[in-house]
Structure 1
Amino acid sequence: MDRGTERGAPPSRGAGNGAADGPAAAGRVPLAVVVVDRDGMVSHWSRGASRLFGATKEEAIGRSAADLLPVSGALAEDTPPYGVYAAYDGLGPDLESSLDGGLSYPAAGRARLTVPGADRVDVLWWAYPLVGPGRERLLVLAADAGALHQDLDLDEGTVAVERIAPAFALHTDFPGADELARRLPEILPSMSVGESARIVAQILELGYPVMEFSQNDRVPVTPDWGVPRRAERKARRERAARAAAEGLPLPQEELDEGEDLEYVAVRERLEFLNEVSGRIGTSLDLSRTIVEVSRAVVPRFTDVAGTYLREQVVAGEGFPDGVPDTTTMWHRVALEHTDEPGRWDDVVPVGEAMPFPAHTPFFQCMTTGEPVLVPRISEQMGHAIASQFEKRDIRPLITGRSMLVVPLKARNVVLGFMILLRHPERVEFNDMDRVTGAELAARAGLVLDNARMYTFQESVAETLQDSMLPHIPPRMAGCDIATRYLPGTLLGRVGGDWFDAVKLPGARTALVVGDVMGHGLNSAAMMGQLRTAVQTMAALDLPPAQLLRNLDDLAQRLGDTYLATCLYAVYDPIASELHIANAGHIPPVIVRAGDGRSELLDLPTGAPIGVGGVPFEAVRVRVAPGDRLLMCTDGLVEVRGEDIGVGLATLTESAAHPAASMDDACDAIIRALNPRGGRKDDVALLMARLNGIEPDDVAEWRISLDPVEVGRARAVVREQLHDWGLGRLAGGAELMVSELVTNAVRHSHSRPVELRLVRGDSLLCEVDDDDHDLPNLLSAGPTDEHGRGLRVVSTLAREWGASRTKAGKTVWFELTLPRR
Structure 2
Amino acid sequence: MDLGVPPQRTPQPRDTTAGRVPLAVVVVDAAGLVSHWSTGARRLFGVAREDAIGCPAGELLPVSGALQQDGEFGPDGTYAGFGHGLDSSLSGSVAYPAAGRARVDEPRRGRIDVLWWAYPLVGPGPERLLVLAADAGQLRDAGVNGSRDSETIAPGFALHTDFPGYQDLAGRLPEILPNMSVHQATRIVSQVLELGYPIMEFSHRDRVPVTPDWGVPRRTPRRPAEDPEATADGSPAPRAAPRPELDLEYGAVRERLEFLNEVSGRIGTSLDLERTIREVTSAAVPRFTDFAGTHLRAAVLAGEGFPDGPPDVTTVWHRVWVEHNDEPGRWDDTVPVGESIAFPEHTPFFQCMVTGEPVLIPYVSEEMSNRISGEFEKRDLRPLITHRSLLIVPLKARDVVLGFMVLMRRPGREPFDDMDRTTGAELAARAGLVLDNARMYTYQENVADTLQDSMLPQVEPRMAGCDIATRYLPGARLGRIGGDWFDSVKLPGSRTAFVVGDVMGHGLNSAAMMGQLRTAVLTMATMEMPPAQLLRNLDDLAQRLGEQYLATCLYAVYDPIHSELQIANAGHIPPVLVRAEDGRAELLDLPTGAPIGVGGVAFETATVQVRPGDRLVLCTDGLVEVRGQDIGAGLAALCASAAHPAASMDDACDTIIRALNPKDGRKDDVALLMARLNGIPDGDVAEWQLALDPREVARARRLVRGKLLDWDLPEAVESAELMVSELVTNAVKHGRTHHIGLRLVRTGALLCEVSDDEPAPAALLNASAHDEFGRGLLVVSGLAREWGTSATARGKTVWFEQALTRFPRPRSNIR
- TM bin, normalised by shorter chain, reads 0.5 to 0.7
User: Are positions 1:286 and 2:282 aligned together?
Assistant: no
Question: Cα distance, 1:336 vs. partner?
Answer: 3.5
User: Are positions 1:799 and 2:799 aligned together?
Assistant: no
SS of the residue 2:450 aligns to: helix
| Residue in 2 that maps onto 1:355 | 342
Counterpart AA for 1:430: D
| Residue in 2 that maps onto 1:438 | 425
| Residue in 2 that maps onto 1:704 | 691
Over 3 Å counting, the alpha-carbon distance change for 1:702 and 1:316 in structure 2 is same
1:561 is aligned, of 548, 562, 571, to 548
1:308 is aligned, of 295, 302, 305, to 295
SS of the residue 1:495 aligns to: coil
Return the alpha-carbon distance in structure 1 between the equivalents of residues 280 and 328 of structure 2.
Answer: 20
Return the alpha-carbon distance in structure 1 between the equivalents of residues 347 and 481 of structure 2.
Answer: 43
1:571 is aligned, of 537, 543, 558, to 558
Question: Cα distance, 1:331 vs. partner?
Answer: 1.1
Counterpart AA for 1:747: H
1:686 is aligned, of 656, 670, 673, to 673
Return the alpha-carbon distance in structure 1 between the equivalents of residues 313 and 639 of structure 2.
Answer: 60
Return the alpha-carbon distance in structure 2 between the equivalents of residues 514 and 315 of structure 1.
Answer: 33
Q: Is the 8 A contact 2:344 2:376 kept in 1?
A: no
| Residue in 2 that maps onto 1:485 | 472
| Residue in 1 that maps onto 2:63 | none
Question: Cα distance, 1:418 vs. partner?
Answer: 1.3
User: Are positions 1:626 and 2:613 aligned together?
Assistant: yes
Over 3 Å counting, the alpha-carbon distance change for 1:434 and 1:613 in structure 2 is same
Per-residue deviation, residues 763-793 of structure 1 (Å, max 9, x unmatched): 1001122333222222322210111000111
Return the alpha-carbon distance in structure 1 between the equivalents of residues 237 and 541 of structure 2.
Answer: 89
User: Are positions 1:326 and 2:326 aligned together?
Assistant: no
| Residue in 2 that maps onto 1:677 | 664
SS of the residue 1:351 aligns to: coil
| Residue in 2 that maps onto 1:404 | 391
Counterpart AA for 1:706: D
Over 3 Å counting, the alpha-carbon distance change for 1:669 and 1:386 in structure 2 is farther
Counterpart AA for 1:350: V
Return the alpha-carbon distance in structure 2 between the equivalents of residues 336 and 599 of structure 1.
Answer: 61
| Residue in 1 that maps onto 2:577 | 590
User: Are positions 1:750 and 2:737 aligned together?
Assistant: yes
SS of the residue 1:804 aligns to: strand
| Residue in 2 that maps onto 1:717 | 704
User: Are positions 1:470 and 2:457 aligned together?
Assistant: yes
Per-residue deviation, residues 3-49 of structure 1 (Å, max 9, x unmatched): xxxxxxxxxxxxxxxxxxxxxxxxxxxxxxxxxxxxxxxxxxxxxxx
SS of the residue 2:469 aligns to: strand
Question: Cα distance, 1:273 vs. partner?
Answer: 3.5
| Residue in 1 that maps onto 2:801 | 814
Return the alpha-carbon distance in structure 2 between the equivalents of residues 755 and 604 of structure 1.
Answer: 35
Question: Cα distance, 1:299 vs. partner?
Answer: 4.0
User: Are positions 1:616 and 2:612 aligned together?
Assistant: no
Per-residue deviation, residues 684-713 of structure 1 (Å, max 9, x unmatched): 222222110011211112223333332332
Root-mean-square deviation (CA, aligned residues, Å) is 3.4
Return the alpha-carbon distance in structure 2 between the equivalents of residues 623 and 576 of structure 1.
Answer: 5
| Residue in 2 that maps onto 1:130 | none
Question: Cα distance, 1:507 vs. partner?
Answer: 1.2
Q: Is the 8 A contact 2:347 2:375 kept in 1?
A: no
Q: Is the 8 A contact 2:151 2:202 kept in 1?
A: no
Return the alpha-carbon distance in structure 1 between the equivalents of residues 635 and 371 of structure 2.
Answer: 66
Per-residue deviation, residues 659-690 of structure 1 (Å, max 9, x unmatched): 44333433444344446322343332222221
Return the alpha-carbon distance in structure 1 between the equivalents of residues 579 and 373 of structure 2.
Answer: 68
Per-residue deviation, residues 198-242 of structure 1 (Å, max 9, x unmatched): xxxxxxxxxxxxxxxxxxxxx9999xxxxxxxxxxxxxxxxxxxx
| Residue in 2 that maps onto 1:420 | 407
| Residue in 2 that maps onto 1:729 | 716
Return the alpha-carbon distance in structure 2 between the equivalents of residues 386 and 607 of structure 1.
Answer: 73
Return the alpha-carbon distance in structure 2 between the equivalents of residues 737 and 320 of structure 1.
Answer: 58
Counterpart AA for 2:152: E
Q: Is the 8 A contact 1:540 1:805 kept in 2?
A: no
Per-residue deviation, residues 257-312 of structure 1 (Å, max 9, x unmatched): 54454344434544544454454444443333323333443444334332211011
Q: Structure 2 matches for 1:6-17, cutoff 5 A?
A: none
| Residue in 2 that maps onto 1:538 | 525
Q: Structure 1 residues 499-508 or 419-428, which shifts more?
A: 419-428
Return the alpha-carbon distance in structure 1 between the equivalents of residues 636 and 270 of structure 2.
Answer: 36
SS of the residue 2:505 aligns to: strand
Runs of at least 5 residues in structure 1 that lack an aligned partner in the other structure: 1-153, 160-218, 223-245
User: Are positions 1:156 and 2:143 aligned together?
Assistant: no
Q: Is the 8 A contact 1:492 1:681 kept in 2?
A: no
SS of the residue 2:593 aligns to: coil
Per-residue deviation, residues 509-528 of structure 1 (Å, max 9, x unmatched): 00111222233332222111
Over 3 Å counting, the alpha-carbon distance change for 1:220 and 1:643 in structure 2 is farther
1:603 is aligned, of 574, 582, 590, to 590
SS of the residue 2:424 aligns to: helix
Return the alpha-carbon distance in structure 2 between the equivalents of residues 810 and 774 of structure 1.
Answer: 8
Question: Cα distance, 1:371 vs. partner?
Answer: 0.5
| Residue in 2 that maps onto 1:135 | none
Return the alpha-carbon distance in structure 1 between the equivalents of residues 786 and 202 of structure 2.
Answer: 80
Over 3 Å counting, the alpha-carbon distance change for 1:297 and 1:800 in structure 2 is same
| Residue in 1 that maps onto 2:484 | 497
Per-residue deviation, residues 716-740 of structure 1 (Å, max 9, x unmatched): 2222222222233222212211211
Return the alpha-carbon distance in structure 2 between the equivalents of residues 355 and 274 of structure 1.
Answer: 33
SS of the residue 1:712 aligns to: helix
Q: Is the 8 A contact 2:543 2:549 kept in 1?
A: no
Return the alpha-carbon distance in structure 2 between the equivalents of residues 418 and 660 of structure 1.
Answer: 54
Question: Cα distance, 1:643 vs. partner?
Answer: 4.5
Return the alpha-carbon distance in structure 2 between the equivalents of residues 351 and 500 of structure 1.
Answer: 40
Return the alpha-carbon distance in structure 2 between the equivalents of residues 699 and 796 of structure 1.
Answer: 21
Counterpart AA for 1:554: L
| Residue in 2 that maps onto 1:368 | 355
SS of the residue 2:437 aligns to: helix
Q: TM-score, normalised by structure 1?
A: 0.65
Return the alpha-carbon distance in structure 2 between the equivalents of residues 258 and 559 of structure 1.
Answer: 73
Over 3 Å counting, the alpha-carbon distance change for 1:310 and 1:600 in structure 2 is same
| Residue in 2 that maps onto 1:512 | 499
Give the length in aligned residue pairs: 585
User: Are positions 1:547 and 2:534 aligned together?
Assistant: yes
User: Are positions 1:739 and 2:692 aligned together?
Assistant: no
Return the alpha-carbon distance in structure 1 between the equivalents of residues 407 and 496 of structure 2.
Answer: 62
Over 3 Å counting, the alpha-carbon distance change for 1:575 and 1:276 in structure 2 is same
Over 3 Å counting, the alpha-carbon distance change for 1:695 and 1:562 in structure 2 is same
Return the alpha-carbon distance in structure 2 between the equivalents of residues 642 and 220 of structure 1.
Answer: 63
Return the alpha-carbon distance in structure 2 between the equivalents of residues 801 and 791 of structure 1.
Answer: 12
SS of the residue 2:671 aligns to: strand
Per-residue deviation, residues 589-633 of structure 1 (Å, max 9, x unmatched): 333323333333333343322222223233222222122222223
Q: Is the 8 A contact 1:591 1:629 kept in 2?
A: yes
SS of the residue 2:718 aligns to: helix
Q: Is the 8 A contact 2:751 2:801 kept in 1?
A: yes
Runs of at least 5 residues in structure 2 that lack an aligned partner in the other structure: 1-149, 156-200, 205-228, 808-815
Counterpart AA for 1:634: D
Question: Cα distance, 1:391 vs. partner?
Answer: 8.0
Return the alpha-carbon distance in structure 2 between the equivalents of residues 815 and 380 of structure 1.
Answer: 75
Question: Cα distance, 1:815 vs. partner?
Answer: 1.4
Q: Is the 8 A contact 2:299 2:305 kept in 1?
A: yes
Question: Cα distance, 1:797 vs. partner?
Answer: 1.3
Q: Structure 2 matches for 1:19-34, cutoff 5 A?
A: none
Counterpart AA for 1:565: T
